[in-house]
Amino acid sequence: MTPHRFLRHPTVLTFLRRQSPDSPHPTLANLHVSLANRDHLWSYITQVQKLKFPFGTGWQGL
């Protein structure tokens, strides 16, 4: 998962539309300005990946 794929994921887009119904094109920055930084998003993605897949997703993860 990359920040770009995360931002374009249908589940994220649906969540953003529900949170900001008045905005025609809601973004994560509408929720909090720090979420506009892709490096910040990358750190969240990495944190969740390490939590959910501590041994990675390759053979060691099996």
Return per-residue pLDDT of the chain as tens, 62 residues: 899 999 899 999 999 999 999 988 899 888 889 888 999 999 999 999 999 998 887 787 77
Contacts of 2 (CB under 8 A, 6+ apart): 42, 45
Please identify which residue in the block is written with the tokens 């990358």: 42
Distances (CA, A) of 36 to 8, 39, 40: 14, 9, 8
pLDDT at 50: 92
